[in-house]
Structure formats: structure tokens, C-alpha cells
Amino acid sequence: MPEGLPPSAKTLYETLALEGPLTHKELVEITGMPPRTVRYAISRLQDGDHVGQRLNLMDSRQQFFFLQEEDASPDPPRL
């Protein structure tokens, strides 16, 4: 778990560790946090290179967010 992050970022980090790659909407639904809080937490995690993002090939308007450690895994993101 990265240190020096706000509680919202820690919650998202734990959620992504348990659930795998998720969209912004899925993170909002699972955590119950407001969309703005989720965006802020994601930006803090991305600033520290803890979270990456990739395009949802089924809907290019959405991004999947994932822990950087997962990037090396051969499993494709959920579609």
C-alpha cells in the first residue's frame, strides 16, 4: 500500500487490488464515493505511478484503471 495518500486514494487502491481493472463508473458504484472524489483519488494514484489506464475497446469513451503491478500480467482487461 502506497503511503502519504488521502483515504479516498487508499480505498481505490485496495478496490483495484481486489477487483482488478475497473472503469470510473464501476469505481463510483463499488466504493460509494462521489464521482469527483474518485477522479481526485485516481489522479493522486496516477501522479505516484501506482495506477495506469487503458482504453476500453468496447466503448472508447471509457477507460479501465488498474494497478501498475497488474500491467505486466498477460490477462486482458474485462470487457
Asked whether residue 11 is domain-assigned, the answer is: yes
**What would the mean pLDDT of 36-49 be, rounded to a whole number?**
93
Termini Cα distance of the chain: 27
CATH number at residue 30: 1.10.10.10
Range of the domain at 65: 7-72
- pLDDT tens track for 46-59: 998 899 999 988 88
- The answer to whether residue 77 is domain-embedded is no
Whether 62 maps to a domain, the answer reads: yes
pLDDT at 61: 87
**Residue 55 in domain:** yes
The pTM for the full model equals 0.78
Sequence-ordered list of residues with C-beta below 8 angstroms from that of 29, at least 6 positions apart, any chain: none
Within a domain: 21:
yes
What is the rounded CA–CA span in Å between residue 59 and residue 31? 22
In a domain, 25, yes or no: yes
What confidence category does residue 17 fall into, taking pLDDT thresholds of 50, 70 and 90? very high
Provide mean pLDDT across the span 11-21. 93
pLDDT digits (tens, 9 = 90+) for 24-35: 999 999 999 999
